[in-house]
A = this chain, B = another copy of it.
Amino acid sequence: MALPEILELLEQRREQHLAELVEWTAIPSISAQAQHAGDLRRACDWAADYCHAMGLETEIHPTAGHPAIIARHDAGARAPTVLLYGHYDVQPPEPLELWESPPFIDNWGSGEAVGGNAEPVRDGALYGRGASDNKGQLFAHLAALRGWFEVAGGPPVNLRLLIEGEEEIGSPSLGEFVATHADELRAEWGVVSDGPMLAPGMPAVSYGLRGLAYFQLDISAASADLHSGTHGGAVPNPATALAEFIATLHNPDGSVNLPRFYDDVTPLETAEREALAALEFSDDEYLKGLGAPTLAGEEGYTTLERRWARPTLEVNGIWGGYTGEGAKTVLPARASAKLSCRLVPRQEPAAIEAALRRACAERLPVGVRWTLRVFAGAPAVLTPTDSPGVQAAMHALRTGFGAEPAFIREGGTIPVVADFQSVLGAQPLLIGFALAEDMPHSPNEHFRLDCLYGGIRTSAALWDELARLG
């Protein structure tokens, strides 16, 4: 039995693992910002070097955007094949003034503080952009795998490791990449650690992810902004038209008012609703964390059902006309909105696009021109909770965190997970080590050290558990 020996080794390596993760997190691999292309390459190389050094057969592949890593280890024909996915890119850190320590700290332990009081490890957590999403969570697996290589020459499964650098910009290159490398990447299970636990000390397996359909609607009327005194009242106002259109997109009960929007939605089963209701979740505490006066949403569903298991339509951004200081009496020539739907199983992004396009055609006034652009589309994912892979993940989480894991769903989208299922035949195993309170995508992102070390232990156990299914 290699596992106990590996777990002991990993415990001894705590300080070293933290130092390694600090080093990786310090690289500002911001995929949304073109000037960071070199940093993306450095963060990619860092991960590839780590994989190569432990004994994985590692290759960096160029893509149309940022490079992707494929690493592999073979444990024999009788062992199951597992795909492990993660990403080395991060969200932009802005607004910088809201960070209490710099988002990227590259001289930790050197004795020199960057930007003043720049200790990235404090209060039992590592602070930095990407510390939680996704470097910290992915690193938990890398550290555990290195333990397996040192003690047992590698994990007892055939491993396919896929690490990309465009997740935070919607993985534009990954779909084609996965299709091209399908033979190499084909697997029975697809492990992704890019999501939350239920709460601190309360691990979870996610059995569902919502899908996404993201659009930009641009509306225009006159060819230039006009004086709202000279022309106001006679010329169509695109900002008004946009607002009036958006106002048609929800019904009074909070449901989405697009043609046939709910036709393909799989209803929530009573058993699942009961299971979700049994989870430890407080609307009041959730509200307190958000700083909002009330919650809102579709009538007839609980907060967790609304966030995890019901489709939505949200305005992600809106703009038009004069948005500066004070008064400018302008009649806007143009107005735009970013609109996105979160989807649940059986809803198709293409059908949502068609519905929104039809609504635009039917509901926008004749006095405006409009265009609808599509930025992203991914279907939802749902995994049966009784599958042996899920059960193996549950065992591994018990070992890693010493607590009984919950079954949860996630409201967010990991576009490539649907491809893992449909293109590679891999059943997703979504085992997040992060917490909602980690502030991913926000200032002061952090990753708790108990989540890091629990994640490392969980990963060590996971390969052992999955090997038994072989």
Contact = CB atoms under 8 A, between A and B. Distances in A.
A236 B315 CA distance: 11
Contact of A410 (B230, B244, B375): B230
Copies in the complex: 2
Contact of A232 (B170, B223, B312, B328): B312
A443 B224 contact: yes
Interface string A291-329: 111111110000100110011101111111111111111
Interface string A235-264: 111011011101111100000000000000
B291 A222 contact: yes
A391 interface: no
Interface in A200-238: 210, 212, 214, 221-237
Given A227-B441, A342-B232, A316 B322 contact: yes
Given A169-B327, A317-B330, A324-B92, A234 B295 contact: yes
Nearest to A247: B247
Please give me the 3 A-B residue pairs with the lowest Cβ-Cβ distance, nearest first. A223-B291, A229-B412, A247-B247
A335 to B, nearest CB: 6
A98 B293 contact: no
A196 to B, nearest CB: 7
21 contacts: A92-B322, A94-B324, A168-B328, A169-B326, A196-B230, A228-B314, A228-B316, A230-B410, A233-B314, A234-B306, A235-B290, A239-B318, A239-B337, A240-B249, A244-B246, A244-B250, A316-B331, A317-B320, A317-B330, A327-B375, A329-B412
Interface of A: 32-34, 91-92, 94-95, 98, 168-170, 196, 210, 212, 214, 221-237, 239-240, 242-244, 246-250, 286, 290-298, 303, 306-307, 310-312, 314-332, 335-338, 340, 342, 365-369, 375-376, 410-413, 436, 439-444
A250 to B, nearest CB: 7
A224 B291 contact: yes
A317 B340 CA distance: 22
Nearest to A246: B243
Contact of A294 (B236, B296, B444): B236
Given A232-B411, A317-B321, 13 more contacts: A32-B326, A32-B328, A228-B314, A229-B412, A230-B410, A233-B310, A233-B311, A233-B342, A236-B294, A243-B246, A247-B248, A315-B321, A316-B331
